[in-house]
Structure 1
Amino acid sequence: MDRNHERAARRADAAARRGERDGSGPTRDDHTVARFPGATAKFALLGEVLLVGVLVTLVGILIVTLPAALAAGTRHLRRFIRAEGSSLGLFFGDVRGALPGGLAIGAGAVLLAAVLAFDIVIASSGLLPGGALMAVVGWVGLLALSVALLAAAGLWSPQSGWRAALRTLPRSLADDIPGALYLAATGVFVGVATWALLPLVIPALGCAALAVVAIPERPRHRVG
């Protein structure tokens, strides 16, 4: 009998330890659940990031659908690291919810990006005076556009929609300038990775979605 009790206790302890690692429970009485239990399993998180990269690439392959894809991808990773439900059904549910307004944002972003790219090409041709300055303006504009898209994707939710995300976007970026710079670095990373080798866009987009989730949650040092 004692041996059976001992085995049961060991099984319960092992289950508690697993619950502590992934946030699913049960846990031991003296254990404090991690803030982001899904992030404690490093290999599982890596796999989920790569999966999200594949999903975002597939949904965003038309380019105009990329905002909706990023919004759904960030929400999927946010649920995963919080050890909430993170099924593919929820991801595609978010895609359906984000597509109506996301298509308009995607079309506007594509148009603006095309104008900025044309500006860079003309500036680089040497046909116009002040071409170097025009090229800088074009590149800065593309970078600002990538930051806005990433931040808006992180702010979108099915309840509030894209209008609320765009309304709160300027204040969100202004309140966290370092976070905006991190998003800019993320945009550069995606661009460079894609330029270096096209298939790298898949893990790059997964990492971008993770960055959108992680940057607002990072520890911050407040002055005063």
Structure 2
Amino acid sequence: MSRAADRAARRAALSGSGPTHDDSATTARFPGARSAFGLLGEVLLIGIMMAIVSLPIITIPAALAAGVRHLRRYLKADDSALVWFWRDARDSLLGGIGIGAASAVIAAVLALDIDLAGSGVLPGGPVVAVVGWVGLAALVLALFLAAGRWSPKVGWLGALRGIPGAVRADPAGAAYLVATGVFAGVVTWQLAPLVIPALGCIALAIVAVPERPRRSRDVDDA
């Protein structure tokens, strides 16, 4: 019986629905993760909502911020009604549109550089291509981290200011988020409708990566 209980506890810990690392804690970290199918459905649903908000392209940061806050509420078993998602999307448009427009311009310039580097028109093409890809990865990471830190109280300026500290505190987590962006880009490039679950998975990754077990242990040890 004890072995079965131990296996169940391990499964709960891996799923994120188990207790915190403090053995005396009796509450779950993420009650909303108890149902894997329920969480999958919520990820797909919020992916649809995020895709709608992202249609003008320059509203992608707002969609990310609203999606992240929705999934964070869902995982914590707080009020996760969709009305709160739309309120967050509305509130995050202030400043978010400017960040989205600037990001779109930067991404277009970097993509053009990568294309020209591949055509052989530019001298030092391979170096230019590497710089372009690194720049795109940094841009994606900045958007993800800012969206994860945004709240109506912090605002976009405060979220952007916290990016360097977040990267220094958890470089492995930053790498995971970049990998998530690469994966989402690849699957969307292969089949465009997959952008919906990809967006939901991005929001989930932004919430989950800082809370992963290894990261939590490091914080506790510090």
Match of 1:80 in 2: 74
Deviation at 1:128, TM superposition (A): 2.1
Q: Whole-Å Cα distance in 1 between the matches of residues 91 and 158 of structure 2?
A: 14
Q: Whole-Å Cα distance in 1 between the matches of residues 183 and 29 of structure 2?
A: 28
Which residue, 21, 24, 28 being the options, matches 1:34?
Answer: 28
Q: TM-score, normalised by structure 2?
A: 0.85
Indicate the SS of the match to 2:151.
Answer: coil
**Aligned 1:1-224 pairs, distance under 5 A:** 32-219=26-213, 220=215, 221-222=217-218
Indicate the SS of the match to 1:86.
Answer: coil
Identify the range of structure 1 (139-148 vs 205-214) with the bigger mean alpha-carbon deviation.
139-148
Structure 2 residue identity aligned to 1:155: R
Q: Whole-Å Cα distance in 2 between the matches of residues 186 and 32 of structure 1?
A: 32
Deviation at 1:121, TM superposition (A): 1.0
Q: Whole-Å Cα distance in 2 between the matches of residues 139 and 194 of structure 1?
A: 18
Q: Which stretches of structure 1, 4 residues or longer, exceed 2 Å deviation after superposition?
A: 220-224
Which structure's CA Rg is the greater one? Answer: 1
Deviation at 1:182, TM superposition (A): 0.4
Alpha-carbon RMSD: 1.5
Aligned residues: 195
Q: Whole-Å Cα distance in 1 between the matches of residues 57 and 143 of structure 2?
A: 12
Q: TM-score, normalised by structure 1?
A: 0.84
Aligned identity (percent) is 59
Deviation at 1:169, TM superposition (A): 1.1
Structure 1 residue identity aligned to 2:154: S
Q: Whole-Å Cα distance in 1 between the matches of residues 70 and 132 of structure 2?
A: 33
Identify the range of structure 1 (136-145 vs 66-75) with the bigger mean alpha-carbon deviation.
136-145
Structure 1 residue identity aligned to 2:149: L
